[in-house]
Structure 1
Amino acid sequence: MQLRPEQLESHLEKTLAPVYLLSGEEPLQLMEAADAVRAAARSKGVEDREVFNVDKGFDWEQLSVAAESLSLFARQRLLELRLPTGKPGPQGSKVLQAYARRPAEDTVLLIEAGRLDANDRKTAWCKALESVGVLVQVWPLDLPGTQAWMQRRMRRHGLQPTAEAVRLLAERVEGNLLAAAQEIDKLVLLSGPGPVDADGVLSAVADSARFGVFDLVDAALAGETARAVRVLQGLRDEGVEDVLVLWALAREIRALHRMAEQVEAGKSVQQVLAGVRPQRRQPVVRQALRRQGAHGLGRLLSGCARVDRAIKGRHPGNPWDELLDLTLNLAGAHVVPDLSPPTGTP
């Protein structure tokens, strides 16, 4: 039987198979899948655990002997076989096929393998193990997959994230699930269980910083050029990620663009500003709308796309220089000072 990683937990709540074969290249999901099998085994009375690491000189008879022997201290056992290459070789293949034909009584065999491709799945040993147990293959996640994974994990931790909050976190970690898990743990620690929106994510990220991305946005909206430059430099010095700064600016510019289009369509500025929260931000938003029309804000959105390409290495510009350009244009300035370190700075 084959299961997806997200199906393993519900499976283990119902039963415990004699064999689990875990394979893939995504370390966190593999580690947590193995931990889930171990935890399920312990909950069902498995106390004895023996680990085998398959290296160049590994003697496969060790596994055969362990499978045939009974534990002196515990009736139920967990045998762990770590197979990093995913290829047991001729002798290993024979031993694993023999085990699959007659799994050891009161024993769970957990195999942690490397990547298994389509040809590996067709081998006799792999098919034999899958016929009596469970195969879980873990693949690196794309952005939508990362977002789905993060949403499930956040909900398990008691968080109720908005789609925007999930997108922001997913873009920050770029498929690194270890980093994603750390960010989620940080959110739980700082804010506790409950609703989480993009503002909450940004606040948590900037919690230890002297400057925050909201300070940058408000300074730019108010046309406070010098302060906006100082805050941007502070964010850079304090190690705030460029993708977070872009997220905050781009989100504000998109909102301004929608409001400017509404004004040009005939709505009064006061009507448009009525939806701005908190209300104390309405004056700076009004200033920004007065400076930038829908056309100008459309150009700023194109600037956001350019910064995004620079961050991803698809544009030759320096991301922080591009962010400075974007900030100054949002603030209504025309001169772009250089934020690059002085010559000779390491």
Structure 2
Amino acid sequence: MSELRPDRLAAQLAAEPLRPAYLVAGPEALVVLEAADAIRAAAREQGIGDREVFDIEGRDPDWDSLSAAFNAPGLFATRRVVEVRMPTGKPGKEGAEVFTEFAANPPPDVVLLVTCADWSRQHGGKWSEALGRIGHQVIAWPIKPHELPDWIERRLRARGLRADRDAVQALAERVEGNLLAAAQEIDKLALLADGNTIDLARMQALVSDSARYDVFRLVDAAMNGEGAQVSRMLHGLRSEGEAVPALLGMVCMELQRAAALSRVQARGGNLNAEFKAQRIWDSKQAAYTRALQRHDAARWERFAAEAGRVDRIAKGRPRWGQDPMDAWIALERVLLAVANPKAMRLLG
């Protein structure tokens, strides 16, 4: 079995032709996304332009279509990428057989890319070992707190930045283990840094305190079902002097996106096409998919309406007969309900 560390993947891809199969899995969503992007980029560089995507979710995944795709010739290219998105990391008996059969006799024109959000030592089995024998397993194990400063330092170097250890530690403490937040801050540093080594004072000046509690992470927490994190972030934003109306634009947009996705899902439409239409990045699609499983279309419509109510409260214009509730409390109740169906009772 060939398990490859994510930070070694780029060098491996540059050193050899693409292998028949890649399994990219793990709870660190940013690392999984970037590893999969690197494989897709390598495929394009090697002239592989055809790509098919299969989402394996729900109770009745269509393994027959995937198996047929392995044996169907590509339309526009001699080779193609067949991408299987399997958030749970568990293909079941039928799916395991499909992957094992693929590995036993990989089609010469297919590069298989399997991505999983959930992964542990117990997830692996004969099917993943079989894929590993003909390709690579790239596992994004959780970054431990003591490992985060080194991860940040490597990423800074990759962006052409230098920072002393105190500055790196300050950034690690600020992002609280969230790799996506760390990556966003480092990208911002690349734009703002002056080429000199960043010391502690400069890091504190360049990275705003709101990095911990920005509205993007607030919405992500709600979509990911992290109710405690939602409350924590809202309290942090409030203590930093943010205003509810400043947050609502993004909150309303994301809830309206989810409502649109839920309508498509309810009528059995193409969710992948709607993700593209709504311009939802690949890195966020798994969170949306999980959120859609928690609530039906009617609830998402209500969430969007409740966000409008929060806006009226924040502007001092509650509807006739409604209590003029604190806008922060009203917003927290909506997002907690998004995160956890049990919190629906908070909406009355």
TM bin (shorter chain): 0.5 to 0.7
Aligned match of 1:87: 90
CA shift for structure 1 position 113: 1.5
Among 9, 19, 22, the alignment partner of 1:20 is 22
Partner Cα separation in structure 2 for residue 117 and residue 158 of structure 1: 34
1:81-132 deviation per Cα after TM superposition (whole angstroms, max 9, x unaligned): 01111111111111110000111213210000133332332x2111111111
Aligned match of 1:61: 64
Aligned match of 2:344: none
Aligned match of 1:151: 153
SS of residue paired to 2:62? coil
TM-score by length of 2: 0.58
CA shift for structure 1 position 75: 1.2
Alignment map for 1:89-108 (pairs within 5 Å): 89-108=92-111
Aligned match of 1:5: 6
Alignment map for 1:51-200 (pairs within 5 Å): 51-55=53-57, 56-121=59-124, 123-200=125-202
1:180-217 deviation per Cα after TM superposition (whole angstroms, max 9, x unaligned): 01111111111254421112111213599xxxxxxxxx
Match for 1:134: what amino acid? H
1:313-337 deviation per Cα after TM superposition (whole angstroms, max 9, x unaligned): xxxxxxxxxxxxxxxxxxxxxxxxx
CA RMSD of superposed structures (Å): 2.2
CA shift for structure 1 position 57: 2.1
Deviation larger for 100-109 or 46-55: 100-109
CA shift for structure 1 position 62: 1.2
Contact persistence 1:157–1:193 (CA under 8 A)? no
Partner Cα separation in structure 1 for residue 131 and residue 142 of structure 2: 24
Contact persistence 1:158–1:194 (CA under 8 A)? no
1:287-337 deviation per Cα after TM superposition (whole angstroms, max 9, x unaligned): xxxxxxxxxxxxxxxxxxxxxxxxxxxxxxxxxxxxxxxxxxxxxxxxxxx
SS of residue paired to 2:122? helix
Aligned match of 1:47: 49
1:6-42 deviation per Cα after TM superposition (whole angstroms, max 9, x unaligned): 1111111112211110111111111111111111111
CA shift for structure 1 position 2: 0.2
Deviation larger for 111-120 or 51-60: 111-120
Partner Cα separation in structure 2 for residue 91 and residue 207 of structure 1: 49
User: What stretches of structure 2 of length at least 5 have no aligned partner?
Assistant: 211-238, 243-325, 329-348
Partner Cα separation in structure 1 for residue 81 and residue 54 of structure 2: 11
SS of residue paired to 1:159? coil
Partner Cα separation in structure 2 for residue 207 and residue 86 of structure 1: 36
Partner Cα separation in structure 2 for residue 134 and residue 117 of structure 1: 16
CA shift for structure 1 position 150: 0.7
Partner Cα separation in structure 1 for residue 126 and residue 164 of structure 2: 46
Partner Cα separation in structure 1 for residue 116 and residue 66 of structure 2: 16
Match for 1:3: what amino acid? L
Aligned match of 2:307: none
TM-score by length of 1: 0.58
Partner Cα separation in structure 2 for residue 120 and residue 205 of structure 1: 38
Partner Cα separation in structure 1 for residue 44 and residue 54 of structure 2: 19
User: What stretches of structure 1 of length at least 5 have no aligned partner?
Assistant: 209-235, 240-343
SS of residue paired to 1:41? helix
Contact persistence 2:149–2:172 (CA under 8 A)? yes
Contact persistence 1:22–1:113 (CA under 8 A)? yes
Partner Cα separation in structure 2 for residue 82 and residue 345 of structure 1: 39
Distance 1:156 1:93, change over 3 A: same
Match for 1:2: what amino acid? E
Contact persistence 2:25–2:117 (CA under 8 A)? yes
Partner Cα separation in structure 2 for residue 193 and residue 149 of structure 1: 20
Runs of 4+ off more than 6 Å: none
Aligned residues: 215
